[in-house]
Amino acid sequence: MREVLRRDGQEVPQGMAALPELGFQPEGGSVLVVFANGRGASLKQLAIDSPLLHAAIPVPELYGQSVFPSLSVTAGAVTCATEDLADMDGMALWEYRLGYVQMMTRTVISTVIKEGLSVAATAGTYGALKDNGHGGRRPPPRHGPPPRHGPPPRHGHHHSGDDGAALLAAGLVWAATDIYRSAVNIADTRMWETLPSKYQVALVPMPADRIVRLSLPSQGGAVETEARIPENAESAIIYVNATGYGAFRHMVFPK
């Protein structure tokens, strides 16, 4: 990469310029190892569910404990370790921060609308039933002159049954809307979960025996595998994917 930049007259980044030179000519046959290291960041749902409030927001979740320091690559007499090429976790968090304000704005607006509609439906049900006397039944009109004797009519308790029915209906409406709000209280957690935590690379000369040995460090000893390159291939790319010690796979792409 440095030679390409120099040939084009472009400036070589400081970090790239400090890397050691290759001990061989890549044009003479080489193997590029691309290591998909670990499991990439994902989004999980942080939900608030209560009778008074339902809200859900996506929050990032990292799996850094499954990331390996590097992959050891051996081709003939050459042994090296993969170097970082791209931090996919960092890119995912950068994208999350870019859209954080818009995401929170959508969540707040959605929550206010849902909660407001629920309160309006409950209050409307109670008010309609209370005003109409439980189902619209009104006392029949009284004809003739009012009675001259007797105690004055009492107010305030003759509609207690209607008030109770209105409260019961309003409670049922609130419970129904509460179940609905809880069911749709789902955050958008879509993410490129197939991406690794990091991409690392290593470049080694084509071995004479066409066997590249790959090794991952572990506490109980290295986990090793071999990649065989076809005899007629001038060069090759080996793609290695490891999300854990039990998921260590590779594919060979000869050229």
| DSSP codes joined into one string, 3-47 | HHHHHTTPPPPHHHHTSPPPSS-GGG-EEEEEEEES---EEEEEE
pLDDT of residue 135: 47
Percentage of the chain lying above the pLDDT 70 cut: 65
Q: Of 153, 242, 233, nearest to 196 (Cα)?
A: 242
The values of phi and psi at residue 54, to 5°, are: -130, 120
**Residue 236 — pLDDT band, cuts 50, 70, 90?**
very high
Residue 89 above 50 pLDDT?
yes
pLDDT (tens digit per residue) in 102-114: 777 877 787 777 7
**Residue 176 — pLDDT band, cuts 50, 70, 90?**
confident
pLDDT (tens digit per residue) in 135-153: 445 555 555 565 555 555 5
Strands (E), the chain: 30-37, 42-49, 54-61, 72-75, 78-81, 83-87, 198-205, 211-216, 223-228, 236-244, 247-254
What single letter denotes the amino acid at residue 89? D
CB 215 within 8 A of CB 36: no
pLDDT (tens digit per residue) in 57-86: 667 666 555 578 899 999 999 999 998 888
Residue-range domains of the chain with CATH: 20-45+59-89+194-254 (2.60.40)
Percentage of the chain lying above the pLDDT 90 cut: 20
pLDDT of residue 211: 94
Alpha carbon distance 79, 201 (integer Å) = 13
Q: Which two tokens stand for residue 220?
A: 């109980």
